[in-house]
């Protein structure tokens, strides 16, 4: 499972011109589910993301998590994070999970996040979405659950 985490002042997602999810200060999480991912991947990634200390404290140091600031989260499914771009100029997405399994784990991730934060919203799985955000920093971090599973 891969995620791109962006610290935002606000973010929103629209489908067919209608806003279907938004957040105020907090995190925009673009989430890609890979073939072979499991609940463990979602749990590891969610735990790391909600506790990641990337928000500034009173000394302007990144010492606070989205939980610490009572922030919000907007989660967007994005299978293109699993792009294979090694050969040619047209990426393939064969490493991404099948849609039914990807949606199940995406929903599970959102459920886990909602247990930790007061507000978690999302886009519509499988839809063509338009995402707007005001990145704060900018702070952008790329995560892979495989890294969290390794002992090194």
The DSSP annotation for 114-129 comes to HHHSS-EEE--TTS--
| Cα Rg of the chain, angstroms | 15
6 has catalytic annotation: no
Catalytic: which of 56, 79, 100, 140? Answer: 79
Catalytic: which of 6, 55, 56, 80? Answer: 80
100 has catalytic annotation: no
Helix (H) or strand (E) holding 20: strand 18-23
Catalytic: which of 6, 55, 78, 109? Answer: 78
**Which SS3 state, helix, strand or coil, does residue 5 take?**
strand
Is the Cα torsion angle 22, 25, 27, 30 positive or negative in sign?
positive
The closest of 152, 143, 151, 150 to 34, measured between CA atoms, is: 143
Evaluate whether 22 touches 129 at the Cβ level (below 8 Å).
no
Among all residues, which ones are annotated catalytic? Answer: 78-80
């Amino acid at each position: 499972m891969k995620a791109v985490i962006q610290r935002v002042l606000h973010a929103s997602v629209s489908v067919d011109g209608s806003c279907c999810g938004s957040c105020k200060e907090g995190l925009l999480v673009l989430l890609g589910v890979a073939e072979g991912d499991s609940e463990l991947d979602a749990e590891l990634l969610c735990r790391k993301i909600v506790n990641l200390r990337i928000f500034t404290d009173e000394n302007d140091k990144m010492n606070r998590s989205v939980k610490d600031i009572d922030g919000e989260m907007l989660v967007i499914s994005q299978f293109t994070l699993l792009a294979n771009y090694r050969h040619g100029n047209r990426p393939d997405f064969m490493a991404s999970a099948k849609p039914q399994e990807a949606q199940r784990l995406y929903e599970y991730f959102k459920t886990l996040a909602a247990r930790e934060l007061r507000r978690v919203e999302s886009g519509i799985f499988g839809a063509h979405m338009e995402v707007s955000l005001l990145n704060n920093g900018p702070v952008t971090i790329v995560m892979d659950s495989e890294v969290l599973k390794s002992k090194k």
